[in-house]
């Protein structure tokens, strides 16, 4: 669900555009710390993954289906800065190649789905991982909660932007309640899918999960420390 052109007035669009540009500039530096000079191919392929997985339909029941947005999942998998870049790149491609999300609203969309969603998801994830015991379950719980809060939070920020730069005279309480309510449900779906995907990645390649680096143990096979030659000898 991308904001199209015309939803927000020109000043708000320009302002969110500047926020988005700043975010991307900071994220480009941060991603270099996460992925060093491998940034371009790995972030590019991860973005391709996000793009593809957004096309995957997950049945919700009653004949409807939803798809993953992926901000929280990507942040836990490859780190928050790279995740911001991946979401940005996906949004740019969708706007320029598919007219999905307006060109003037690109900054708004990057701010909502790149900055707000990823930052909140990763913040909640880090917090929970710190508070909970150092286990795989805690990582999954953190990612699930992060994914859950990221969706309604982004929706509420959108309502806030709509209050500042929207073109309709609506009672904000009503819009916030509707958008928040719908997105709480979407957030539940996002959390379920995020946990399902993440637990499977943790099962096969835990070393690829950026957010689970603290769970990594040194290999069980280690060279045996040399026994001191003096053990039973002289003296």
Which of the residues 49 through 88 are near another protein (CB under 8 A)? 49, 51-53, 55-61, 65, 68, 77-78, 85-86, 88
| Mask for 159-178, x = binds another protein (CB under 8 A) | --------xxxxx--xx--x
The answer to the question of residue 16 lying near another protein (CB under 8 A) is no
| Mask for 100-139, x = binds another protein (CB under 8 A) | x-xxx-----------------------------------
- Which stretch, 36-44, 113-121, 141-149, 216-224, contacts another protein (CB under 8 A)? 36-44
Q: Do residues 43 and 86 lie in contact, with contact meaning Cβ atoms separated by under 8 Å?
A: yes
- Which stretch, 38-46, 120-128, 131-139, 149-157, contacts another protein (CB under 8 A)? 38-46
The answer to the question of residue 42 lying near another protein (CB under 8 A) is yes
* Pairs from 173-180 (Cβ < 8 Å, separation ≥ 24): 179/155, 180/152, 180/155, 180/156
* Pairs from 132-141 (Cβ < 8 Å, separation ≥ 24): 134/214, 134/215, 135/215, 136/199, 136/202, 136/212, 136/215, 139/76, 139/198, 139/202, 139/209, 139/211, 139/212, 139/215, 140/195, 140/198, 140/199, 140/202
User: What residues from 179 to 198 belong to the interface with another protein (CB under 8 A)?
Assistant: 192-193, 195-198
Count, residues near another protein per rule CB under 8 A: 77
Query: Smaller CB distance to another protein: residue 107 or 142?
Result: 107
Q: How far is the CB of 214 from another protein (least distance, A)?
A: 20
Provide the 3-class DSSP secondary structure of residue 58: strand
């Amino acid at each position: 669900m991308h904001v199209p052109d015309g939803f927000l007035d020109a000043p708000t669009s320009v302002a969110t555009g500047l926020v988005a540009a700043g975010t991307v500039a900071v994220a480009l530096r941060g991603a270099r710390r996460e992925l060093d000079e491998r940034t371009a191919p790995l972030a590019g392929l991860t973005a391709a993954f996000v793009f593809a997985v957004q096309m995957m339909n997950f049945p919700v029941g009653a004949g409807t289906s939803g798809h993953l947005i992926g901000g929280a999942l990507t942040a836990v998998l490859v780190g928050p800065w790279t995740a911001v870049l991946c979401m940005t790149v996906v949004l740019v491609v969708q706007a320029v190649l598919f007219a999905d999300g307006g060109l003037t609203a690109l900054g708004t969309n990057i701010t909502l789905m790149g900055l707000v969603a990823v930052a909140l998801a990763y913040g909640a994830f880090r917090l929970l991982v710190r508070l909970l015991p150092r286990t795989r379950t805690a990582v999954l719980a953190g990612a699930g909660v992060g994914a859950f809060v990221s969706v309604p939070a982004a929706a509420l920020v959108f309502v806030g932007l709509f209050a500042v730069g929207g073109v309709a005279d609506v009672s904000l309480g009503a819009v916030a309640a509707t958008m928040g309510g719908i997105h709480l449900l979407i957030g539940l779906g996002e959390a379920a899918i995020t946990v399902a995907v993440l637990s499977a990645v943790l099962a096969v390649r835990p070393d690829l999960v950026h957010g689970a680096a603290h769970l990594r143990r040194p290999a069980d096979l280690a060279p045996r420390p040399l026994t001191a030659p003096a053990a039973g000898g002289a003296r």
